[in-house]
């Protein structure tokens, strides 16, 4: 036994919700690559080179033995930082940074 269900003509809220959800999904996938491109451009414009490739002018040094010249231990050769010899110590950038991505 089948019942005859009378369907109303006109506006149906269910179909409207489906259409809105589909449109939001489409907009998300269309706008995502644009946002990534914008972030990439912003990252490139804010890029800071820690090593200039020729010298260590923007770095400071600490050695356990303060009588040793840091340039005898730390130097740049072929655009690479070289650390050789004694005494023990460390080097750091003169500027401080926060919220960064370090690419090595």
Average predicted confidence (pLDDT) for the chain: 81
Say which range, 7-11, 68-72, 77-81, has the weakest mean pLDDT.
7-11
pLDDT at 37 over 70: no
For residue 14, how many other CB atoms are within 10 A of its CB? 7
pLDDT at 10 over 60: yes
Nearest to 51 by CA among 71, 78, 88, 69: 78
- Rounded-to-integer distance, Cα 75 and Cα 10, Å: 79
- Rounded-to-integer distance, Cα 103 and Cα 78, Å: 19
Q: Give the per-residue pLDDT at 32.
A: 75
Parse the chain into domains and list their residue ranges: 11-47, 59-93
């Amino acid at each position: 036994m089948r019942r005859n269900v009378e369907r109303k003509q006109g506006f149906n809220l269910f179909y409207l919700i489906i259409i809105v959800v589909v449109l939001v999904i489409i907009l998300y996938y269309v706008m995502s690559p644009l946002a990534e491109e914008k972030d990439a451009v912003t990252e490139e414009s804010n890029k800071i080179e820690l090593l200039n490739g020729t010298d260590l002018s923007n770095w400071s040094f600490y050695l356990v033995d303060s009588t040793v010249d840091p340039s005898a231990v730390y130097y740049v050769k072929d655009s690479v930082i070289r650390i050789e010899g004694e005494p023990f110590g460390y080097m750091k950038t003169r500027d401080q940074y926060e919220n960064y991505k370090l690419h090595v």
